[in-house]
Structure 1
Amino acid sequence: MNNSTSPSPRPSSSSSRCHEPSSSPSFSSAVPDEIAANCLARVSKSQYRSTSSVSKSFHSLLSSPEIYAARSEIGATEPRLYLCCESLRTGATTTTRRSWYNLMSLDDERIKKGDAFISVNGAEIKMKTELRLVPVKDSSFHHLCARSKEANLAVGPEIYQIGGINKKNGKRSRSVCVLDCRSHTQRRAPRMRVARQCAKACLFDDDGSSIYVMGGCRRDKECWGEVFDLKSQTWKKETLPSPLLIGGDEFQVFALGAKIYVITECNKYVYDPKEGRWLLLDWHFVGLNRILELGGVWCVLDNLVFMECSSDLYWYDLSCGKWVIVQGLEDLCYTRVNCRYRMVQLVNYGGKLVIVWLVLPEAVSRRKPPVIPLEKTCFAVIRLEKRLTSSGLVISGEIERLSFSLVHGSYNPLTCLSVSL
């Protein structure tokens, strides 16, 4: 008697393939990386977290510089908000800490908190909790927050942090640091010629993308302004002298068309980079100095200057030198009437306008859970529409989204920037 067990029959090649899914090529391995990147670049960045969980190759590709290069090439970039906040740290001594936050959309229904309500004059305005602040944990970002009174400027997918006060020695800084929001890493750019604090910076792209940095230096310095070439990553040899009779330390800088404007409390100047000289603006621009008023915030969008004042939104009409109210935003004004709040910033959000303000305790209602936590930052995304009428240009706005942040604890929002990813 043969007690040996006969071997099991060998499975057919077809059945073997059915039980070996790992041998099947994945999408990313079946096509070149260039094609895969071009396909994935057309997916909204808000879906990258779920898409990267499909496979290791997807995760690697969605984290690589190639995906951002492909998005930029096909014009599929999306605006993303970054918020710099200052928080108090208590201990033996009270210190302040600055941190950067990425504003993420809560698309996942499992983590949505529902609706919240803010009480105004007995009525409740509904707000969607569509945004949350996610701390940028990379240590290099926190290293950049070691300075204060710096100029922050968004350029494409990067944030330039220029000058400021070094907290270690209390001196002005010539340093220029660049935050890459694609990889959350930091690099050093060439230092400025002059150390600056509280300088102003604007992006001027008529000559091939340059950063103009002005002010913030000692009065005896002739180099009142410097120009950084973004393509060559170098500071130009030519410097900008100070406009005549600038007077005082308070001023603002912005670019409109092919010229750069400097607004002070007393005068208004325009700089023509082609001619290389300053001109004093006439009385037609008299209203522009209102952007220096206490508590006023402003920004440039679509070659127009917008400003928030007394809960209303205005735009500046260069043709008549007057501020004109943006129509259709009565609901936004209503959310802040008789409320304690502090305006933080107006932001050019990829062609739309984002209004950022800090709601103070008296503005919060606890009638319906969940509610807005005390002293939280609110964000209103405004879509603007222009109409040319017989009486002139009319600009109206529509609230597309009204959200508040979900970060807990005491913190002070300092600046909000929109980058392209």
Structure 2
Amino acid sequence: MASISSLPKDVVLECLARASKHDHPNLSLVSTTFRSLVSSSELYAAGLLLGRTEHCLYVCIHVYPEPSPRWYTLRPTRAGDTKLVSIPSSPSDLPSNSSVVTIGSEIFIIGGSINGEKTSSLLALDCRSHTWRRLPSMRMARGESVACLIDGKIHVIGEGLGLEERHALCRVSEIVVFEGSMYGMAGRTKCFAYHAEDGSCDVHVPDPDGLSVWDHSYCAIGNVMYSCDYTGELRWYDREDDEWRDVKFQRPLRRPRLPRQFKLSDCGGNLVILWTESFNVISCSEITCERRNRNEIWGAVKSSNVVLTADFYNSSVDILHCQVVTI
């Protein structure tokens, strides 16, 4: 350890930048110096220069009968698959029904409820060192809201803000940022689009397949919006024809078995689907997508395996949030 400490700071930063980001939380335990470097903007800049940034998936899961949810990160194993690993520093009083947004290497947890009571708390998880910090509370307690980041600003939509009453919509269940606008899925069949540039808002029907928006999860990759329903059907939105089209596969995609227990996310340009294989088992598939012509997008399954098995007797799992952090 003394020999490493005696190296010039730039050399130590380059060594740390070459290490896998999954090892940074453990490296931060080596010494206070390493902890400071791991969470520094200098290490992030060194990683950018070396082209060593990574996309890391973080998932908030409530494993019942535990009293509160916990955050997990998806890590590769020696066997060549992936597993969800619990972040040991998760607060014991982490709110449920909160909204989350990612800025840089941090995940912000906004509001929610603790023991059934709405909270105005703000928490931040530093994904480089897996440390938490409490921020000044909001002026208003908010539960069951959703949040997103547009042009460097956090937008929170939901309980207590009045926007839903203005447009006669029910609770917002999911939100997607697509081409600079915020699309909120609300009620059973409605989707509102909020355009931050001019403050205008309009209502759409997001997916004409007969299912409610509660039966879908959405994400955007580049200029393409994707939708996945509880049967595992994957679609993409063709803006030119104003039509949802199926993503085509040469081999069948593994299907979720339980409704409303799945999340769709963008991870470094690939689609990631998390779903409950059974009441206490979560599986994950990573899918690459390729646009072969104007009307066709083809998907290929890069990996698919069980990533979490709850070990409590008579337990069940609830997938709450899925965030991708670039570190």
Same fold (TM over 0.5): yes
2:62: which partner in 1? 86
Partner of 2:224: 304
Equivalent residue for 2:276, pick from 340, 351, 358? 358
Q: How far did 1:87 drift?
A: 2.5
Residue 384 (str. 1) matches residue 271 (str. 2): no
- When residues 61 and 269 of structure 1 are mapped into structure 2, their CA distance, relative to the original with a 3 A threshold, is closer
Matched, 1:336 2:241: no
Query: Residue in 1 aligned with 2:91?
Result: 142
Residue 148 of structure 2 is aligned to residue 202 of structure 1: yes
**TM-score normalised to structure 1 length:** 0.65
Q: Tell whether 2:170 aligns with 1:248.
A: yes
User: Which residue of 1 is the match for residue 156 of structure 2?
Assistant: 213
**SS of residue paired to 2:64:** strand
Letter in 1 for 2:125: L
Is structure 2 residue 18 aligned with structure 1 residue 42? yes
Tell me the distance in 2 between the aligned counterparts of 1:417 and 1:382.
16
Contact 1:133/1:407 (<8 A) preserved: no
Report the more deviating stretch, 313-322 or 253-262. Answer: 253-262
* Cα drift, residue 356 of structure 1: 0.5
Q: Distance in 1 between matches of 2:258 and 2:140?
A: 40
Could you tell me how far 1:293 is from its partner in structure 2?
3.1
Of 339-348 and 287-296, the range deviating more from structure 2 = 287-296
Query: Which residue is 1:132 aligned to?
Result: 83
How far is 1:204 from its partner? 1.0
Q: Is the 8 A contact 1:78 1:420 kept in 2?
A: yes
Indicate yes or no: 2:19 matched with 1:71.
no
What residue is the counterpart of 2:238 in the other structure? 317
The answer to whether the Cα contact below 8 Å between 2:25 and 2:129 also exists between their aligned partners in 1 is no
Q: CA deviation at 1:379?
A: 0.8
Percentage of pairs with the same residue: 28
Query: In the TM superposition, what is the alpha-carbon distance from 1:214 to its structure 2 partner?
Result: 0.8
Q: What do residues 276-327 of structure 1 show as CA deviations (whole Å, max 9, x unaligned)?
A: 3x2435xxx5344778434322222223221112222111122222211111
**1:67 positional shift:** 2.8
| CA contact 1:172–1:195 (8 Å) conserved in 2 | yes
Which residue matches 1:98? 69
Deviation of 1:360 after TM superposition, in Å, equals: 1.9
Q: Is the 8 A contact 1:144 1:177 kept in 2?
A: no
| 1:275 equivalenced with 2:224 (yes/no) | no
SS at match of 1:405: strand
3-state DSSP of counterpart to 2:13:
helix
Equivalent of residue 299 in structure 2, options 385, 397, 410: 397
Please say if residues 341 and 359 of structure 1, whose CA atoms lie closer than 8 Å, have aligned partners that are also in contact: no
| Residue identity in the other structure for 1:149 | N
Q: 2:137 pairs with 186, 191, 202, which one?
A: 191
- How far does the alpha carbon of each residue in 1:188-230 deviate from its partner, in whole angstroms, 9 at most, with x for none? 234334321111111213xxx111101111xxxxx44xxxxxx
Is the 1:131–1:406 contact (alpha carbons within 8 Å) kept by the matching residues of 2?
A: no
Go from structure 1 to structure 2 and tell me whether the alpha carbon gap of 1:342 and 1:245 turns closer, same or farther (over 3 Å shift): closer
Evaluate the alpha carbon distance shift between residue 329 and residue 343 of structure 1 in structure 2; reply closer, same or farther with a 3 A threshold: farther
Shift of 1:406: 4.7
Select which of 22, 29, 36 maps to 2:6. 29
Does structure 1 residue 174 correspond to structure 2 residue 92? no
Could you tell me which amino acid in structure 2 is paired with residue 29 of structure 1? S
Q: What is the alpha-carbon distance in structure 2 between the residues aligned to residue 159 and residue 144 of structure 1? A: 17
Deviation track 1:56-92 (CA, whole Å, cap 9, x = no partner) reads 8996687453434422565522111222222334xxx
Secondary structure of 2:43's aligned partner: helix
Q: Which residue of 2 aligns with 1:260?
A: 182
Task: Kindly name which structure, 1 or 2, has the bigger radius of gyration based on alpha carbons.
Answer: 1
| Alpha-carbon distance in 2 for matches of 1:250, 1:63 | 37
Which residues of structure 2 form unaligned runs of 5+?
none
Query: Normalising by the residue count of structure 2, what TM-score does the alignment of the two structures yield?
Result: 0.82
